[in-house]
Structure 1
Amino acid sequence: MQQLQPGMARIRIKNLRLRTYIGIKEEEINNRQDVVINATILYPADSAVEINRIEHALNYRTITKAIISHVESNRFALLERLTQEVLDIVMDNEQVRYAEVEVDKPHALRFSESVSITLSAAR
C-alpha cells in the first residue's frame, strides 16, 4: 500500500459485488459467477478540499460505473486479466497517482471462502 502524502486523498471502493463470466471450465464459461472488487485510489485532493466543488474532486462514481459496465459485459478466462482490466479503468483517470485493485472469486476453491488477486499501478 502506497504511503499517504500531505494533500493526497485515499478513496476506497469496498466490496463491489458483480456477476460476470470468469474461468476456464465449461460451467464457468456458461454461467455468470460472483466477483467482489475492492479498489484503493490515491489522488491529489488539495483543490477539492480548498474549493469544495465536485469539479475539483476525483469522481469515484464515474469510475465505479465504468468498472461495473466493463466487468458485467465481458468474459474473462483468468482472474489476473480481470484484475488488470479493472486497474486499467481506474488508472485511465489522469488524477489518479496510485491505485490498488483486489478481485475476489468467492468459492473458487473447495474449503476456501475465496481466492483473490491484487495488482497495483503508480504514476
Structure 2
Amino acid sequence: MRPEIAIIRIKNLRLRTFIGIKDDEIQNKQDILINTEIHYCANKARNSDNMDDALNYRTITKKIIELVEHNRFNLLENLTGQVLNIASDHAWVEFASVEIDKPHALRFADSVSLSLCYSKNNKM
C-alpha cells in the first residue's frame, strides 16, 4: 500500500506582534497573517482514528501563537524561519511551508509577504 500524504493547512492565522526596525514598529504591535502547510504520512491516523497517530494541528498552532505574541522581531525572515521550525519540528513532517504577510508594510501595497519551505529530502 502506498503511503497517504496528509496536508494540513493553517490558513490566515491573524496575530499581532512587534515586527520591524522603524521607531513606530518597535513601539507598536502590528497585524500579521500566517499561512502554513504541513505534509506528513497519514496512514496510521487514517486507519486507526486515534489522535496519537496524527499530527496535532492545535498544538502546532498554539506554539506558533506563543512564539509570535511573546517575542519581538526585526526581520520578517527571522519570524518566518522560527515559525517554519515549529511547523517542521515533528519527525513525521516530510514538507512544510510558511508564508507570513505584513499588511500595510508598504504604501500602495496590500502587504509584503515572505515564504520559506522545509523538505526532509533536501536538508541543508
TM range (shorter): over 0.9
Unaligned residue ranges in structure 2 (runs of 5+): none
- The residue number in structure 2 matching 1:52 is 49
Given candidates 91, 108, 118, the residue that maps to 2:115 is 118
Letter in 2 for 1:8: I
Query: Is it true that 1:105 corresponds to 2:102 in the alignment?
Result: yes
Given candidates 17, 20, 23, the residue that maps to 2:17 is 20
Give the deviation of 1:6 after TM superposition.
4.7
Letter in 1 for 2:53: H
Give the deviation of 1:98 after TM superposition.
0.4
Unaligned residue ranges in structure 1 (runs of 5+): none
Q: Return the alpha-carbon distance in structure 1 between the equivalents of residues 64 and 109 of structure 2.
A: 26
Give aligned pairs, total: 119
- The residue number in structure 2 matching 1:69 is 66
- The residue number in structure 2 matching 1:79 is 76
Letter in 1 for 2:29: R
Letter in 1 for 2:101: D
Runs of 4+ in structure 1 displaced over 2 angstroms? none
Letter in 1 for 2:69: E
Q: Return the alpha-carbon distance in structure 1 between the equivalents of residues 106 and 3 of structure 2.
A: 41
Give the deviation of 1:82 after TM superposition.
0.5
Q: Percent identity?
A: 57
TM-score by length of 2: 0.93
- TM-align CA RMSD: 1.0
Q: Which digits, 9 at most, give the CA deviation of each residue in 1:4-61, with x for residues without a partner?
A: x851000100000000000000100010000000000000000000011111011010
TM-score by length of 1: 0.94
